[in-house]
Amino acid sequence: MAIREQPRIFAVAVAGSVVFGVMVIASAYVVGAVVGDVVVPAVARGSVAVGALAAAAAALFGLSVLRVVGIFGRRLGAGFMQFRLQAAYRRRVTRRYLDLPLSWHQRNATGTLLSNANSDVEAAWHPIAPLPFAVGTLVMLVGAIISLFVTDWALALVGLAVFPALFTLNVVYSRRMAPRQQRAQRLRAEVSGIAHESFDGALVVKTMGREAQETARFAARTGQLRDALISVGRLRGLFDPLLETLPSLGTLAVLVVGAVRLRQGAITVTELVSVAFLFTVLAFPVRAIGWVLAELPRSVAGWDRVRRVLDATGEMSYGDVTLDPADPRPATLGFADVHFAYEPAEAHLPGTQVLGEVTFTVPAGRTVALVGPTGAGKSTIASLAVRLVDARSGTVTLDGVDVRRLTAGSLSGTVALVAQVPFVFDDTVRANIALDRPGIGDEEVWAALRLAEADGFVAALPDGLDTMVGERGASLSGGQRQRLTLARALAGRPRLLVLDDATSAVDPRVEAAILAGLRSAGPDTPATSILVVAYRRATIALADEVIYLEQGRVVARGTHPELLATVPGYADLVTAYEQAEAEGEQAGGPGGRSRPYEPVVPLNSGLDVEVDR
């Protein structure tokens, strides 16, 4: 596959390796000629022929230059090929991650995915570096065997005994190394996963006093990786001396057999020196074959893990229908008999049913609030509205068009989600809001910040829009991060805005100002429909209609006063939220948490949303 993807670079690398191999054989015979035709006669005469010595030196220098050219071509080509393949497959793996649905990411640990894109890709193409050298070495070995037969059949038999022994030893080495390399590669991913989980959950680890336990958990797995790598090193330490010894034994055998053949007059001193030198210089190139075979098990293990990502199915297919991007009117969202179940962690297990027979509409320009207890399916509806997931049955429509028929660009240009847990990139305020989207300059950024009630704190930052906010917005408060992500969504002027409890960390008065601003279209405020997952009474009261959910089904709908008077479950839930909000404000002030705790599951895609099942 590597050769098929990079044929020209591979050809350059192999050509360099072949040139090197031919020059090695030629060097052996030139050295033999120098010894037999220059050195030995000079010793016999007691004088040195300067012309012959100069010619020998020139020949050796010329061959050395050609060998350097071969080495340069081989290494340059192999390096280019290896690094280009690694870069290409890192891009493919990352592109695949972005294409696969959130349900797939939820079933795969973040550490494993990081390992797939990094160490697994690196391992998969690691044998590319010695591969051209190994191919050139095979050519060199064939040439060496032919040269041996041309020189003397007895010396050729020695070569035929040594070279197959080297191949056999390399094959045995590769087979024994394979399971060890596979285990080590798997443990690398597990170590990466534990490390990522510990760092990502640093807040929980520190507040719960789990530092020692997390350290012990990481130490246990790194100990297993250490033992696996020691096992690899031990096997390599056993076979490396054998692979080094065989060519040396071959040289010794050549000298013994050659001495006999020389006494018999079958060969000359020149031929004996040439063959002995050839065996000496072949020891290193032959190791290149061993390097390829030694790396193959790790390469296969890495490629299997990379291919698992590339072959993964479930990516969303988009249609060819495009909504008018210049349409200034707010969008209409419709749910018609929607059913949804989350995919199980393991294929043989049943899925978790979350929604059933959900039907409602968010009319153009109106605000609809989703209210319900934990696990009612509110966040799942929000995910369906922006097509993070697809319904198992039923339809979700925008302006009457099934969202599955829309192009990806049309969908993202029409609807925006502000998630419950805000995600902020380690970049400037400007970059976090604009996201390099065309048509969003500083004027549009400030307009979105004003609408999100964030312009005040951004203006007070040391560098304003150019302020670096740190990883995940570490330099900002929770409420500031929420308003920043809200401004990011508003900067794109969406026609439908989905708020999944997106203002829970801000002061209730600020939240009321934000929601009031969203409802009143003006020069800086795009006309938009709003679907909001709500918990505060003030938020719910601003909605034109409230959808009350229980166990994944729409139980009631109407205005807040109507439901409060006619639906006991709704009244009890809203009252409980109010009590929790009051207690939170007493405990932590206005910035305290405004609703009961609900579990948050960080998804591997980088978007953190509540999995409200």
Model confidence over 351-391: pLDDT tens digits? 577 888 889 999 988 889 999 888 888 888 988 888 888 88
What whole-number distance in Å separates Cα of residue 422 and Cα of residue 482? 5
- For residue 267, which phi and psi values (nearest 5 degrees)? -135, 165
The string of pLDDT tens digits covering residues 147-160 is 878 888 888 888 77
| HEC sequence for 463-506 | CHHHCECCHHHCCCCHHHHHHHHHHHHHHCCCCEEEEECCCCCC
Each residue of 574-611: pLDDT tens digit? 888 667 666 655 555 444 444 433 333 333 333 333 33
What is each CA distance from 97 to 104, 113, 375, 577, in whole angstroms?
9, 9, 27, 38
Rounded to the nearest integer, the mean pLDDT of the chain is 78
546 DSSP β-pair partners: 369, 558
- Element containing residue 456 per DSSP (H, E): helix 455-460
- From residue 404, give the alpha-carbon distance in Å to each of 96, 168, 331, 361, 399: 19, 57, 16, 17, 13
Higher pLDDT, 334 or 509: 334
Query: Dihedral of the CA atoms 7, 8, 9, 12 (nearest 10)?
Result: 120
Per-residue tokens: 32: 């033999």
Question: What distance in Å separates the CA atoms of residue 528 and residue 526, rounded to the nearest whole number?
Answer: 6
pLDDT the model gives residue 335: 92
How many other CB atoms are found less than 10 A from the CB of residue 445? 22
pLDDT tens per residue, range 449-494: 888 888 888 888 888 888 888 777 777 887 888 888 888 888 888 8
Per-residue pLDDT, 612: 37
User: Whole-angstrom Cα distance, residue 588 to residue 595?
Assistant: 12
Residue 12 dihedral angles phi and psi, to the nearest 5°:
-65, -45
pLDDT confidence band for 290 (50 / 70 / 90):
low
- What letter does residue 353 receive in the DSSP assignment? E
CA angle 191, 193, 195 (to 5 degrees): 70
In this prediction, residue 524 carries a pLDDT of 55
Model pLDDT for residues 324-336, shown as the tens digit of each residue: 777 778 888 999 9
Q: How confident is the model at residue 266 (pLDDT cuts 50, 70, 90)?
A: confident
- 300: nearest Cα among 186, 194, 189, 172: 186
Instruction: Give the Cα separation of 505 and 514 in Å (integer).
Output: 13
Tokens of 487: 């401004």
What integer pLDDT is reported at residue 420 of this predicted model?
79
Instruction: Rank 2-16, 198-212, 228-242, 382-396 by mean pLDDT and report only the highest.
Output: 382-396
- DSSP 3-state of 177: helix
Count Cα atoms within 13 angstroms, Cβ side, for 310.
16
Helix (H) or strand (E) holding 342, with range, is strand 333-342
CB-count burial class (<10 Å; 0-12, 13-18, 19+) for 8: exposed
- Locus of tokens 């951004």: 458
What pTM, to 2 d.p., does this model score?
A: 0.62
Task: Indicate the range of 104-113, 224-233, 384-393, 582-591 predicted with least confidence.
Answer: 582-591
Tokens matching residue 37: 């035709």
pLDDT given at position 315: 66
**Winning range, highest mean pLDDT, from 183-192, 237-246, 338-347, 448-457:** 448-457
Rg of the Cα atoms in the chain: 35
Q: Which two tokens stand for residue 205?
A: 């680890």
> What is the C-alpha separation between 243 and 165, in angstroms, rounded?
9
Residues comprising the chain, all counted? 613
Write phi, then psi, for 556 (nearest 5 degrees). Answer: -155, 160
295-323, pLDDT tens digit by residue?
777 777 778 878 888 877 766 678 888 88
Residues 347, 345: Cα–Cα separation, whole Å: 7
What is the amino acid identity at position 314? G
